[in-house]
Homo-oligomer: A and B are copies of this chain.
Amino acid sequence: MTRGLTIALDGMGGDHGPATVIGGADIASVRHPDVRFLIFGDEAQMRPLLNEHPRVAAVSEIVHTEVSIAMDDKPSQALRRGRKTSSMWLAIDAVKTGRAQAAVSAGNTGALMAMAKVILKTMPNVERPALAAMWPTARGESIVLDLGATIGPDALQLVQFAVMGEAYARVIFGLEHPTVGLLNIGEEEVKGTEQVKDAAQMLRDAKLPMRFHGFVEGDDISKGTVDVVVTDGYTGNIALKTAEGTVRLIVEFLRAAMASSILSRIGYLFAQGAFRALSKKLDPRASNGALFLGLNGLVVKSHGGTDGLGYAAAIDVAIDVASADLLKKIVTDLDALKNIELAGGGRKNSISEESEAAIS
What is A's interface to B at a CB cutoff of 8 Å? 74, 136-138, 148, 151-152, 183-185, 188, 190-194, 197, 217-223, 231, 233-235, 237-250, 252-254, 257-258, 260-261, 263-264, 266-275, 277-278, 281-282, 354, 357-358, 360
Copies of this chain in its oligomeric complex: 2
A190 CB to closest chain B CB, in angstroms?
6
**Cα A233 to Cα B357 with chains together (Å):** 23
B354:A193 contact, CB within 8 angstroms: yes
- List 29 A–B pairs whose Cβ atoms lie within 8 Å, in order of A's numbering: A138-B252, A185-B237, A190-B357, A190-B360, A191-B358, A192-B358, A193-B234, A217-B237, A218-B240, A218-B243, A221-B245, A223-B249, A231-B238, A235-B238, A243-B245, A246-B246, A246-B250, A253-B281, A253-B282, A254-B254, A257-B278, A263-B273, A264-B271, A266-B270, A267-B267, A267-B268, A267-B271, A267-B274, A270-B270
A200 CB to closest chain B CB, in angstroms?
13
A52 CB to closest chain B CB, in angstroms?
34
- Kindly list 14 other residue pairs between chains A and B, CB separation below 8 angstroms, not including A74-B190, A231-B238, A246-B247: A74-B188, A185-B237, A193-B354, A217-B238, A222-B249, A234-B235, A254-B278, A257-B274, A257-B275, A261-B273, A263-B271, A266-B267, A266-B270, A267-B268
B273:A245 contact, CB within 8 angstroms: no
Contact A219/B235 with A151-B185, A192-B358 known, Cβ cut-off 8 Å: no
**Cα A249 to Cα B281 with chains together (Å):** 11
Closest B residue to A254 by beta carbon equals B278
A176 CB to closest chain B CB, in angstroms?
26
A249:B193 contact, CB within 8 angstroms: no
* Chain A interface main SS type: helix
Contact A260/B241 with A137-B249, A250-B247 known, Cβ cut-off 8 Å: no
Closest B residue to A147 by beta carbon equals B185
**Cα A219 to Cα B246 with chains together (Å):** 7
Closest B residue to A197 by beta carbon equals B357
A62 CB to closest chain B CB, in angstroms?
33
Contact A270/B274 with A185-B234, A235-B235, A239-B239 known, Cβ cut-off 8 Å: no
